[in-house]
Amino acid sequence: MRFQINGEPVDATPAPGQCLRSFIRDQEHFEVKKGCDTGDCGACSVLVDGTPVHSCIYPAFRAEGADVTTVAGLGRPGDLAPLQQRFVDAAGFQCGFCTAGLIVTASTLTEPDLDDLPRLLKGNLCRCTGYRAIEDAIRGTHTPADGSGRTGLGPVVQTGRRPGTVGTSLGAPAGERVVSGREPYTLDVTVPGLLHLSVLPSTQAHARIRSIRTDAAAALPGVHAVLTHADSPATLYSTARHEDRLDDPDDTLVLDPIVRFRGQRVAAVVADTVAIAEAACRLIEVDYEPLPAVFDPAEALRPGAALVHGDKDAAASRLADPQHNLVAELHGEYGDIAAGLAGAAHTVSGSWQTQRVAHTHLETHATIGWLEPGPDGENEGTGERLILRTSSQVPFLVHREICRLFDLEPSRLRVFTARVGGGFGGKQEILTEDIVTLAVLKTRRPVQYEFSRSDEFTLSPARHPMRIYVTLGADDTGRLTALKLGVLADTGAYGNHGPGVMYHGSSESVSLYRVPNKRVDAQSVYTNNLPSGAFRGYGLGQVIFGVESALDELARTVGLNPFDLRRLNSVGPADPLVVTHVEGEDLIFGSYGLDQCLDLAQAALARGNGQAVPAGAEWKVGEGMATAMIATTPPRGHYAQASVTLGDTFGDTFGDVTAANPGRYTVRVGTAEFGNGTTTVHAQLAATALGTTPDRIEILQSDTDAIGYDTGAFGSAGIVIAGKAVLAAANDLAARLRSAASERRPPIASAEWTLEPDGLRSGTAFVPLAELAEHAGASVLRGTGAEDGARRSVAFNVHAFRVAVSTLTGEVRILQSIQAADAGVVMNPEQCRGQIEGGVAQAIGTALYEEVVLDGAGTVTTSVLRNYHIPLLADLPLTEVYFADTSDVLGPFGAKSMSESPYNPVAPALANAVRDAIGIRPTELPMSRDRIWRLLHPERAAG
Amino acid sequence: MDLNTVLTITPARSREDLRALSPQVAPLAGGSDLFADPQVHLTGLVDLQTLRWPALTVTTDAVADGVTGTVADGVAGTDPGDTGGVSGLEIAATCTLAELSRLPAAPGWTAHPLLFQCCTALYGSFKIWNVATVGGNLCASLPAGPMTTLAAALEAEVLIWRADGSDERMPAAAFVTGNTTNVLGTGDVLRSIHVPASSLASRTVYRKIALSPLGRSGAVLVGRLDPAGGFVLTVTAGTVRPVQLRYPSLPAASALARDIAAIDYWFTDAHGAADWRRAVSGVLGEEIRAELEGAALENGEHP
């Protein structure tokens, strides 16, 4: 059939049941994204003859004769549509995966429509930004961080001393490409001869596979391989990836003869098309021997409970006690908890329950793998390499583990990522790379495996649900005498991130407080539920919900303002950090801004924002706050290497050294960009150190071929680890340039030179960079840097809310939302603010709406986006963001990390505000309207 | 998403073409429901849009005789007959929500705002309105289906083309029988929805609540006070199928509350617990009653 895409005629015929989204992508218009494929997220929005539609639910055949417009048809880099330009100027995206659909949708709105924006954008989900910046972009306004009235879209990108240096709000380097659909993500590439992989999921929560019949599947035309546990490497591993692979239990096989949760891979088919692969999967017959299963973590610990990994060797798999489903446990005491409680004038005690939360990054997990022939030709000879293009936060850690799993020499594997469409910890796992590797090695063909949105809900690890027990003791002035914490985490069917989340969750939540007597008892437990994994905050969000709720109760009991209770009991810079013993010397107060954060948040709350309380006696108003502390990087090493080169592989002439522009620099760094904005800050760091402008800096990243090593983009390490390595490399190069300049212009000492964009200046002397490049000849001018994370600092966040709660319906309406953050010297104010707003948005989702529901027998019932509610524009308040004025001794230019931590204090702050409003403390997340209503009307609640 | 097992699309040109329907061959209207879930049982689709049914037809209110007025792109212009100058409305099953939401009011259509209000209760965005159809929403028969709410609240009558060639008319409120079930058998097609003039001339009040401000409906209630003073409360979304409470005139608050509480079709899913749905339906029902009472008093009527 004939139709047009962005005015260009296309003659192609879709499959009868094909949707327009995949059909447009078949035409290599990769700017049309798949976020859900169910008409819910809007990432695939296009115009059909000017009418906006979700192309994933639009039958492709209906586009016959139509003019289809994608975001790429609205403008191009250098010639953006005004709306696209505003998304760049307002920092209206982070990962950018939703941006194409948002811009297409917004392009159809008229001025009067802006009054109805929440409704008109309810079909466009963004998981990163919290929407404030998107709304600014659409309206062409700028909302100051303190929430005061919108102004014209001002010079956000040009604030600060010198444009583009640290401390200024530089826009993302990929901005123009993102807003015009030109920035390629994981699957936005054409690979000739590509095969597709589809997985047969387990229908059983716990079963041994007696037999699998695959002959009918294998015989289907177009099928290249059917993979079962018989094909799997026998090596156990963990899907979780850490710097130290021993952090996670080895309990997983690529394909396992025992299935431990519904949805687990049973077999995989590799075929010419997804359709054939799926059809073949339906032809596979599996004979299961059902095994006893356990779905409740407390039951899992009882004697006689079904054992999820009873077959595992505790030492070999590094499990605390597989005969009791115990993955990891922590029991420790500091001081004398019994004495601390016995001597307390006030005690409070309670238990809290958090839910499973799905990351819902808009780009689903995906990998494309292929073999690249070596110099000796296309055989399996020396030099042939496996290439994995994957949606990972940790390409180097994937590289290590895939090499281990498949016994590959490190030089025989390259792992890289394009821009990643959101992660939030969900892509710190090997979920697709392992099976793609197996498929590529088996078929010797390029293979792609792409998660569906339902796979994300049923296969991809969720936030650990936790039961949290807190008992506090305090003297009559409110000074804490005892803090006792119990944690029971459901890590699900596999132990990925189970130990780490348990330890981290129980760490800064406890060490934040100066208490002479502490006790922690934490356990992470297997069940036959969906596995749990890494998610922004890494356990802290859950445990802090309990601890900060208990502290709020204590403040009420003692009669202290909750801010003052924190001032009285929080650690100061001279205090030791104690969980169950004094933390290692690697953790220091490189700066301290908690006092400022408390003051800023309290003042903003007292100031109010003029938001009126809804009319009606049923609305009760309350205020609440909570605090969070986080170490700025993960413990026990987080490594990054970087280099900065004058000239060479800039821009489109990648690899063409002769085309090098001597005024340009190339940064090579291993960490990944998934919307965290580290690329922007790296450009700023390098530009600052080299006295140049960020547009002259190209960044090659997240590629095991680009640089030696990087632990990865997790633990909020993008600025304080990778950024520090980039800064060190840039400083190293700057020193080399000064030396080279001195050699050219003796006797000026190297310290006398100042770097400028085109050369080095000292008084009247000037050495052009071109001269230095020419003189260097074949030996390129390169600086290198590295960072090991051996010393870590702490950062603080304080959140406060004023809410109104309807006693009739349980609705919680946020009247004011405030976050004060101690981020050290803020490298990029708009971007850092965006990280905070996005973290707050996700946390409001956790606090009020989101829950991955299981049926109690291992089946996820919220397996599509329309049954799992992530925040819409309509759901979120404007959050006032305030920064403490601190400078850290460890971070680059005094910066601290600020990406996970904004999430952590939000749920308890909201719960404390609800408690203040209705006089009843919510102890369960999400605080959905039905749950709040039940708290208010226990006599009418069923069950 | 791609419906990879679908191998044929049959554009329907006449009712004859609907004979191709079977358990493996489904009717396709807008596609927003069919393409939003895997349909591995399907091998074919019959495209209903090619039947080119007029989306919206303003009618004389003589539905019992099957007499309809002229079609004018949804613009009134027919003989209103004996309905006091008010027309009825026939909505083709293939009419999109976008078309319905844009329909201008005809004289005397006091209930006209309800058309748009019910569209806003759709979980899907305005871009979904551009393709999703009124009939498709009814046939999906989700409890939260807002076209079910609309049709039931306005006492609409649906016309079903039975697979055996016969026609059947029934109250829209009886069309949906349960959570995603309805009266259609294999090969049956929902042809149209007829809204009587008397309903369009009624005063209506709409209320929706969900677990989030614009989320999938937990409860959608519509009160309708007809010109003769009769009151009907239509309760949907919180119940697996529409429930209607009828009164000769506006009831007292206590009577309405008691009757709502006595409904027993409440259900629990990700969009709300049954007990909450019952309770908030009571809240919304009373808001509706009070608003209609206030409006009546304002107009000097005796409710």
| Cβ proximity of B146 and B119 under 8 Å | yes
> What is the structure's pLDDT at A633?
93
Percent of chain A scoring above 70 in pLDDT: 96
Query: What residue ranges of chain B have pLDDT lower than 50?
Result: 62-82
**Is the pLDDT confidence value at A729 over 50?**
yes
Q: Do B212 and A941 touch (CB under 8 A)?
A: no
Q: How does strand A45-48 pair with strand A51-54?
A: antiparallel
- B212 in the same domain as B188: no
Q: Write out pLDDT tens, residues A911-928.
A: 999 999 999 999 999 999
Residues 17..76 of B with a Cβ closer than 8 Å to A: which?
28, 31-32, 35-37, 40, 42, 44-45, 49
A862 touches chain B (CB under 8 A): yes
In one letter, which amino acid is B7? L
In one letter, which amino acid is A491? T
Please return the burial class of A163, using the count of CB atoms within 10 Å of its CB with bins 0-12, 13-18 and 19+.
middle
Count the helix, strand and coil residues of chain A and give each as a percent rounded to the nearest 5: 30, 25, 45
| pTM of this structure | 0.96
- B234 in the same domain as B160: no
> What is the structure's pLDDT at A378?
52
A531: closest CA among A263, A303, A318, A322? A263
Percent of chain A scoring above 90 in pLDDT: 92
**Is the pLDDT confidence value at A377 over 80?**
no
Q: Write out pLDDT tens, residues A837-869.
A: 999 999 999 999 999 999 999 999 999 999 999
CATH number at residue B284: 3.30.390.50
Q: What is the DSSP letter of B192?
A: E
The confidence band for A775, taking pLDDT boundaries of 50, 70 and 90, is: confident
Residues 106..165 of B with a Cβ closer than 8 Å to A: which?
120, 123-128, 130-131
Residues 117..136 of A with a Cβ closer than 8 Å to B: which?
118-124
C-alpha A545/C-alpha A568 separation (Å) is: 20
C-alpha A93/C-alpha A677 separation (Å) is: 10
- Which helix (H) or strand (E) segment holds residue A290: the answer is strand A285-290
- B268 in the same domain as B140: no
C-alpha A841/C-alpha A744 separation (Å) is: 55
Question: Vertex A622, ends A619 and A625: CA angle to 5°?
Answer: 150
A330: closest CA among A169, A519, A193? A519
Q: What Cα–Cα distance (Å) separates residue A148 from each residue in A174, A385, A498, A605, A813? A: 29, 56, 43, 14, 20
In one letter, which amino acid is B245? L
In one letter, which amino acid is A105? T
- B189 in the same domain as B214: no
Residues 203..242 of B with a Cβ closer than 8 Å to A: which?
209, 211-216, 218
Q: Do B32 and A45 touch (CB under 8 A)?
A: no
C-alpha A189/C-alpha A187 separation (Å) is: 6
B274 touches chain A (CB under 8 A): yes
> What is the structure's pLDDT at B299?
77
Please return the burial class of B254, using the count of CB atoms within 10 Å of its CB with bins 0-12, 13-18 and 19+.
exposed
Domain end call among B199, B232, B256: B199
Q: Do A869 and B212 touch (CB under 8 A)?
A: yes
With respect to residue B1, please indicate whether it lies within any of the assigned structural domains: no
With respect to residue B303, please indicate whether it lies within any of the assigned structural domains: no
Q: Do B276 and A869 touch (CB under 8 A)?
A: no
Q: Write out pLDDT tens, residues A637-673.
A: 999 999 999 985 543 333 333 444 568 899 999 999 9
With respect to residue B263, please indicate whether it lies within any of the assigned structural domains: yes
**Strands (E) located in A779-878:** 782-787, 794-806, 812-822
DSSP string, B122-170: SSS-HHHHTT-BHHHHHHH--TT-HHHHHHHHTT-EEEEE-TTS-EEEE
Read off the tokens for A99: 């941006």
Q: Write out pLDDT tens, residues A317-337.
A: 999 999 999 999 999 999 999
Q: Which domain holds residue B27?
A: 8-46
- Which helix (H) or strand (E) segment holds residue A741: the answer is helix A724-744
- B73 in the same domain as B188: yes
Q: How does strand B157-161 pair with strand A2-5?
A: unpaired
Q: Write out pLDDT tens, residues A448-492.
A: 999 999 999 999 999 999 999 999 999 999 999 999 999 999 999
Residues of A in contact with B275 (CB under 8 A): 930, 934, 940-943
Average pLDDT over residues A782-808: 97
Number of CB pairs < 8 Å for A and B? 172
- B277 in the same domain as B146: no
Helix (H, G, I), strand (E, B) or coil at A609: coil
| Cβ proximity of B206 and B114 under 8 Å | yes
C-alpha A942/C-alpha A853 separation (Å) is: 19
CATH number at residue B148: 3.30.465.10
- B32 in the same domain as B115: no
| Chain B residue with Cα closest to A865 | B36
- B115 in the same domain as B172: yes
Rounded to a whole number of angstroms, the distance from the CA of A19 to the nearest CA of chain B is: 5
- Which helix (H) or strand (E) segment holds residue A178: the answer is helix A175-179
With respect to residue B168, please indicate whether it lies within any of the assigned structural domains: yes
Write down all domains in chain A, each with its CATH number in brackets: 2-179 (3.10.20.30), 195-291+365-420+427-458 (3.90.1170.50), 462-634+791-936 (3.30.365.10), 640-787 (3.30.365.10)
C-alpha A392/C-alpha A36 separation (Å) is: 19
> What is the structure's pLDDT at A156?
46
Residues of B in contact with A934 (CB under 8 A): 273, 275-276
Taken as a whole, chain A contains a residue count of 943
**Is the pLDDT confidence value at A295 over 80?**
yes
With respect to residue B3, please indicate whether it lies within any of the assigned structural domains: no
> What is the structure's pLDDT at A58?
98
Domain count for chain B: 3
> What is the structure's pLDDT at A776?
82
Q: What Cα–Cα distance (Å) separates residue A861 from each residue in A609, A867, B149? A: 40, 8, 25
Helical spans, DSSP H, in chain B = 97-102, 113-120, 126-129, 134-140, 146-153, 197-200, 253-261, 274-298
Q: Do B128 and A45 touch (CB under 8 A)?
A: no
A737: closest CA among A662, A655, A795, A681? A662
C-alpha A807/C-alpha B189 separation (Å) is: 45
A42 touches chain B (CB under 8 A): yes
- B145 in the same domain as B114: yes
More confident residue, A545 or B70: A545
C-alpha B89/C-alpha B156 separation (Å) is: 9
Average pLDDT over residues A205-217: 98
User: What ipTM is given for this predicted complex?
Assistant: 0.95
With respect to residue B2, please indicate whether it lies within any of the assigned structural domains: no
DSSP string, A97-133: TTHHHHHHHHTT--GGGGGGHHHHTTT---SSS-SHH
- Which helix (H) or strand (E) segment holds residue A47: the answer is strand A45-48
- B82 in the same domain as B61: yes
- B69 in the same domain as B188: yes
> What is the structure's pLDDT at A662?
61
Average pLDDT over residues A699-705: 96
Q: Write out pLDDT tens, residues A140-190.
A: 998 888 888 777 765 444 444 566 789 999 999 999 999 999 999 999 999
Q: Write out pLDDT tens, residues A895-904.
A: 999 999 999 9
A182: closest CA among A359, A33, A316? A33
Query: Pseudo-torsion of CA A812, A813, A815, A820, nearest 10°?
Result: 50
Residues of B in contact with A52 (CB under 8 A): 126-127, 130
Q: How does strand A765-768 pair with strand B157-161?
A: unpaired
- B108 in the same domain as B37: no
> What is the structure's pLDDT at B302?
59
> What is the structure's pLDDT at B83?
56
Count the helix, strand and coil residues of chain B and give each as a percent rounded to the nearest 5: 30, 25, 45
For A664-687, b/e burial (b = at least 16 CB within 10 A) is: bbbbbbbbbbbbbbbbbbbbbbbb
